[in-house]
Amino acid sequence: MSPETAILGCNGVQGKPYPVALASHDDVVKDDILFLNTLRSFHNSLGSKFMVPVIGGKGLNLHVLYVEVTKRGGYDKVVTEKKWREISSVFDFSATTTSASYALRKHYFTLLHRYELVYFFRLQDTILAQTACSSFQAIGTIDAKFDCGYLVSIKVGDETLNGVLYHPSCHVDNYVLTPQPCNAVVPYTPQLHQSGRRNRRRRGRRAEDPGRPKPNRSGYNFFFAERHSHLKSLYPNREREFTKMIGESWNKLSSEERLIYQRHGAQDKERYQKEMKEYRERMKKEQPHY
């Protein structure tokens, strides 16, 4: 498989030194109020935005998250040893919160990773080069292609990230990924006219006959709709990124977690088949006999 290299430069912004720790690691672990005060001060010193994120309708306890990650050796070690699911089990998330591990990792990196470097690893007098750079160099491969884009793997440092790249002119709100094997980097050729005719024909049938059953949705469709609604409430101005974020969340689900949505898809398929059978029988009865 031929890799593509993306080389993106920094914006020329000068880095900032790490703020000085205002307390010891042991102290902030023991005192959640001290922890929040030093964390807010830390972000204020960097000029970065600080806000307690919400997962499953509840504010995330950042103190518990920090304690659980640092007692396992810190962010990098947790990532390497894949312990985010273990950490998520400490929190009382609802059964419908299926991407808790991914959310915890994302929020920790954004809000606590640099704090960890100062308070847990005691780094000082180091320039925050990463915060000054909004882009970086990465090497990626195209694993598969589908009508609206590609499934890709990107190597960033020692990590390999999986995601979805889609063509901006392709509507993906209810799109189902049906990847095809891809052994090389293949330029994308939009098939908008063909898929557009197909979609218009499908919509036209229901528009002409409102009694026609609504087509069934797959398990991924149900997952996509749930995550899209949740992400839209959190990040209303980042909708173009949702497909990639949802694709990554889906890839991180265990087989048991996916089964929940696949059962919804199977039930909806049974509903559609039953309604279509009744619809056809009704149409036959309504046809005039000569």
Domain CATH code at residue 255: 1.10.30.10
91 found inside a domain: yes
The number of helix segments (H) and strand segments (E) in the chain equals 12, 7
Do 136 and 25 touch, CB atoms closer than 8 A? no
> Residue 128 has which token pair?
């925050």
173 found inside a domain: no
Q: Which domain holds residue 253?
A: 215-286
- Counted domains in the chain: 3
Same domain? For 220 and 280 the reply is: yes
Beta-strand runs (E) in 133-204: 137-146, 149-156, 159-166, 180-181
Same domain? For 32 and 111 the reply is: yes
The b/e string for 155-194 (b: 16+ C-beta within 10 A; e otherwise) is eeeeeeeebbbbeeebebeebebeeeebeeeeeeeeeeee
Same domain? For 34 and 110 the reply is: yes
Do 131 and 17 touch, CB atoms closer than 8 A? no
> Residue 179 has which token pair?
């990847």
Of 97, 128, 159, the residue that ends a domain is 128
Do 162 and 152 touch, CB atoms closer than 8 A? yes
257 found inside a domain: yes
DSSP 17: B
End-to-end, the C-alpha distance of the chain in Å comes to 63
Same domain? For 120 and 151 the reply is: no
Amino acid at 28: V
pLDDT in the model for residue 109: 92
12 found inside a domain: no
Same domain? For 117 and 144 the reply is: no
Same domain? For 74 and 122 the reply is: yes
How far apart are the C-alpha atoms of 13 and 48, rounded to whole Å? 14
pTM over the 0.85 mark: no
Tell me which H or E stretch contains 243: helix 242-252
246 found inside a domain: yes
Q: What is the pLDDT along the chain (290 residues), one digit of tens a residue?
A: 333 333 333 433 345 677 889 999 999 999 999 999 999 999 998 888 888 988 877 889 999 999 999 999 999 999 888 999 899 889 888 777 767 888 899 999 999 999 998 999 887 655 444 443 444 445 667 766 666 677 777 765 556 677 777 665 554 444 444 444 444 333 333 343 444 455 555 555 555 567 788 888 888 888 888 888 888 878 878 888 888 888 888 888 888 888 888 888 888 888 888 988 888 888 887 766 55
> Residue 18 has which token pair?
């790490």
199 found inside a domain: no
Same domain? For 157 and 85 the reply is: no
Same domain? For 57 and 101 the reply is: yes
174 found inside a domain: no
Same domain? For 38 and 113 the reply is: yes
263 found inside a domain: yes
| Domain CATH for 75 | 1.10.150.60
